[in-house]
Structure 1
Amino acid sequence: MVAAAFSTHGPFIESRRVLTAALVIGSVVLLVFGLEPLLLGSIVDRGLLDQRSVGALLTVEIFSVALGAAVGPRLMNRRLRAKLVTASILLAIVNLSTLAATGAGQIFALRLAAGLLEGLLLACVNLIAAHSRRPELMSGLLLGLGCLPQILFAYLIPVALDPMFGRLSVFLVLAASALVAALCAPLLVDRVQVADGDGDGSGKGGRWPAGLILFGVAVFIQNCGMGGLWGYAERLGVARGLDANQIASAFAASLFGQVVAGLAGAWLARRVAAFPLLVVGGILQIAVVCVLGISSSVLVFSVAITLFSLFWPSLQPGQLGVFIRAEPTRRAAVMMSPIVLLGNGAGPLMLSAGVGSGTGGVVGGVWLAAGLVVAGLITTIIALHMLSRPGPATIPLFRVGELPG
């Protein structure tokens, strides 16, 4: 769900130690997104929130991650290691504090704080990934391999940890992972040298074209639908009649799909032109969401949720390539991660308008998600058409070219 920015400026970070540590820390941040359905479900089952409030809570946390990621590069890029250790320890404390929460107000405050701290960690990872020798590979590895811990814990939490530690054991896992990030922090560089951006050849100082702004809106809308549906996925599984073991297996399979999708997405973005990649991928997304809304079969749900997680992240490297080609200074590409996060955060709140009471009430939110994904696809097509017009940075719709810079 989080894309690393591309960069060709300044001295590259090539140390395997630094890059590996950055990937581990990035996986810690991504872990909360993969476990979000279990996290939200545990809070509802404990009676700390009702089902309709789930979307608002998820929105608060993801918006705060986006805010932390936006301000983090400037805030964290001096004495980075010490600041990251501090943020990681604070994140562990916040997650442990959630175990003692007794009401909705405390839950909202704690998840807001957790999101801000997660965003600061993510900013450090993005700084290093953007200034590595192969940032596109770093992006694919983060999206793909970062899901492996999610696969492990999405299965272990309902099956082994919840029976042992209680329904909120997910927060113990998140606290422990934050301490892992703190241990990795000394392996990073203490400061990333960020060079000034170059012009885009248009004499406009890297100003965003109108088509690129619209494309950013399309990415936001699409992630509203997909992120919103992911936030309600566990509730949907319960509505379809899955028990705890079946839900655990379905989510483990869906997260494995994200491993494949992250790595495949980086490969496809270099070999398939923007228009067929994003349009065909968008159509497949719509089809999967509709299947989730229609079918009541346990088997179909399990297969569809796996395909859902396969198509979603595989498009992000291609979307990032559009940002880079349309605005070659790559300043716009840095905004890809906040746009995705904002969409993921707004989506659950939007879908909550269609969620009714009772176990089956969540199905109405699925159709709102389908509508958002359709709107995102239509907006993508219009934006790509605008960007294909002759100009300083024209994007070929049906031809693959080298990324500028």
Structure 2
Amino acid sequence: MSAAEGVAGGHAPAVISPPRREAAVSQGVGVVALLIAGLQPVILGAMEREGRLSTSQIGLAATVELMALGLACGLAAALLKPTHVRPKIALACLLHAAAMFVTTLTSGAGVIVTRAAAGACAGVMLWLAIGVIARASHPERAAGVFVTVQTFAQLVLAAALPATVMQHWGVNGALTCLAAISLLASLASLAGPDRLAPLPKSDEGGRLDARSIAGLAAVFLWMAFIVALWVYLEPLAAKAGLSPREAGLAVALALGLQVLGGVAATAVGDRAPPARVLLALGTVNALILATLWSGTGRGLFITCVAAFGFLWLFALPFQTLLLIRIDPTRRASMQLGAAQLLGSSAGPLAASLVVGDGPVRGALILSAACLALALGLISVLRPKQPA
């Protein structure tokens, strides 16, 4: 039976998983690619303090890097053949390290250009990790492990870099460390897979159908909802009466619970239908948004932010599983990273336009609209068969 016949006949086509060691190396490269997502406040904030970026350039640099990362990941998934993978990823890691190093020599617009280049290289690195997750026998568990390790690594470096190398060498010390990590990833990639098994083809060939596109749109909107709220948490905390120290505590608690959310999602695995899980999580998130809108007290605000952090990472593996249930050829799941990253960059940009010089609660309206649209799409998507 062909892969297309398998899909049409209601049977999920077989996908060959890479060996465990190669899969671990691939996920490690993906973790390195996404380190900057958790370190942007540390790196870009330090550049502003050192006079190398203006306040407006911080937002532009952050958005450009994430957009470049997402676009490069999506283009790599669509255009790169899963053969001769080692030299491709080793080169991407080397160029990523070079972009980190060149950033130490630049300021202003030069930083924005180098961060865009770094994002493009990281997108190719992430392509490998997503390709391995998409081919895993239990992709939801592989995705859960990936987001948990990724978040933990970001937390460790976000705490360690300012307390160590940045004390003596400023932001350039942090950038040099990140360049060294990318060089190590380049060496490690030589022990990763050199070839990934081809994905099955459906009746549409290699094209995504309307259901797959709708699923990716739901992921895009979900991430736009999350990050649009996340970037405005501090001013929302001030409106709720929290001191800067209490706001920092709320954010730190949310970051810690993100790790627990990833662990919990890994433990649950595919025992729960992904669409139902995401709809339930969306309902709880809607209640969180409503509570924040109502002008809650300090204690309840911190509780809502902590729950928001837990649900953030708990949802991500189920996005992977939903896309695989929608498209068992797993081609839609190969575009998951692009959808997540583009949504993560579009959300704050749209929120900034909505808020402008007006009340910060406008970010809650934008987040609620994105969440409602995402849930609407998920509710009408009915997987053809289990993956």
Q: Please, what TM-score do these two structures have when normalized by structure 1?
A: 0.79
CA contact (8 A) 1:43 1:168 kept: no
CA contact (8 A) 1:224 1:344 kept: yes
**Alpha-carbon distance in structure 2 between the residues aligned to 1:209 and 1:118:** 27
Equivalence for 1:102: 107
After superposition, where does 1:13-32 map in structure 2 within 5 Å? 13-14=18-19, 16-32=20-36
**Alpha-carbon distance in structure 1 between the residues aligned to 2:95 and 2:291:** 41
Equivalence for 2:367: 373
**Alpha-carbon distance in structure 1 between the residues aligned to 2:121 and 2:368:** 33
After superposition, where does 1:386-397 map in structure 2 within 5 Å? 386-388=380-382, 393-394=383-384
Equivalence for 1:397: none
Deviation at 1:209, TM superposition (A): 6.1
**Alpha-carbon distance in structure 2 between the residues aligned to 1:177 and 1:306:** 30
Equivalence for 1:327: 327
Instruction: Give 3-state SS (helix, strand or coil) of 2:190's partner.
Output: helix
**Kindly tell me: are residues 241 and 341 of structure 1, through their superposed partners in 2, closer, same or farther at Cα, counting changes over 3 Å?**
same
Deviation at 1:229, TM superposition (A): 3.8
**Kindly tell me: are residues 46 and 352 of structure 1, through their superposed partners in 2, closer, same or farther at Cα, counting changes over 3 Å?**
farther
**Alpha-carbon distance in structure 1 between the residues aligned to 2:368 and 2:211:** 18
Deviation at 1:342, TM superposition (A): 0.8
Q: Which stretch of the first structure deviates more once superposed, 60-69 or 274-283?
A: 274-283
Are residue 141 (structure 1) and residue 135 (structure 2) matched? no
Equivalence for 1:383: 377
Deviation at 1:266, TM superposition (A): 3.8
Equivalence for 1:403: 386
Which residue identity is paired with 2:308? F
**Alpha-carbon distance in structure 1 between the residues aligned to 2:268 and 2:66:** 28
**Kindly tell me: are residues 319 and 127 of structure 1, through their superposed partners in 2, closer, same or farther at Cα, counting changes over 3 Å?**
closer
Deviation at 1:322, TM superposition (A): 2.6
Which residue identity is paired with 2:189? A
Which residue identity is paired with 2:17? F
Q: Which stretch of the first structure deviates more once superposed, 219-228 or 183-192?
A: 219-228
CA contact (8 A) 2:355 2:362 kept: no
Equivalence for 2:350: 350
- Post-superposition CA distance 1:21-41 (Å, at most 9, x none): 122212112211121222232
Instruction: Give 3-state SS (helix, strand or coil) of 1:403's partner.
Output: coil
Are residue 153 (structure 1) and residue 147 (structure 2) matched? no
Are residue 72 (structure 1) and residue 76 (structure 2) matched? yes
Equivalence for 1:259: 259
**Alpha-carbon distance in structure 2 between the residues aligned to 1:315 and 1:144:** 12
Instruction: Give 3-state SS (helix, strand or coil) of 2:197's partner.
Output: coil
Instruction: Give 3-state SS (helix, strand or coil) of 2:17's partner.
Output: coil
After superposition, where does 1:240-251 map in structure 2 within 5 Å? 241-242=243-244, 247=248
Equivalence for 2:270: 270
After superposition, where does 1:303-322 map in structure 2 within 5 Å? 304-322=304-322
Instruction: Give 3-state SS (helix, strand or coil) of 2:34's partner.
Output: helix
Instruction: Give 3-state SS (helix, strand or coil) of 1:78's partner.
Output: coil
Aligned with 2:64 (options 60, 63, 81): 60
Are residue 124 (structure 1) and residue 128 (structure 2) matched? yes
Deviation at 1:65, TM superposition (A): 0.6
**Kindly tell me: are residues 276 and 71 of structure 1, through their superposed partners in 2, closer, same or farther at Cα, counting changes over 3 Å?**
closer
**Alpha-carbon distance in structure 1 between the residues aligned to 2:98 and 2:47:** 18
Q: Which stretch of the first structure deviates more once superposed, 233-242 or 182-191?
A: 233-242
**Alpha-carbon distance in structure 2 between the residues aligned to 1:246 and 1:387:** 38
- Post-superposition CA distance 1:11-64 (Å, at most 9, x none): 3312x3212212221211221112122223223333333334433322211111
Q: Which stretch of the first structure deviates more once superposed, 233-242 or 91-100?
A: 233-242
Instruction: Give 3-state SS (helix, strand or coil) of 1:187's partner.
Output: coil
- Post-superposition CA distance 1:200-250 (Å, at most 9, x none): xxxx6687665654443332222113223445567878996436x984x66
Q: Please, what TM-score do these two structures have when normalized by structure 2?
A: 0.82
Identity of aligned residues (%): 27
Q: How many residues align?
A: 372
**Kindly tell me: are residues 385 and 19 of structure 1, through their superposed partners in 2, closer, same or farther at Cα, counting changes over 3 Å?**
closer
**Alpha-carbon distance in structure 2 between the residues aligned to 1:316 and 1:20:** 19
Gaps of 5+ in 1: 1-6, 395-401
**Alpha-carbon distance in structure 1 between the residues aligned to 2:141 and 2:275:** 22
- Post-superposition CA distance 1:92-130 (Å, at most 9, x none): 121122222222x10110110000000011112222232
Gaps of 5+ in 2: 1-11
Q: Which stretch of the first structure deviates more once superposed, 269-278 or 257-266?
A: 269-278
Instruction: Give 3-state SS (helix, strand or coil) of 1:353's partner.
Output: helix
Are residue 90 (structure 1) and residue 73 (structure 2) matched? no
**Kindly tell me: are residues 128 and 290 of structure 1, through their superposed partners in 2, closer, same or farther at Cα, counting changes over 3 Å?**
same
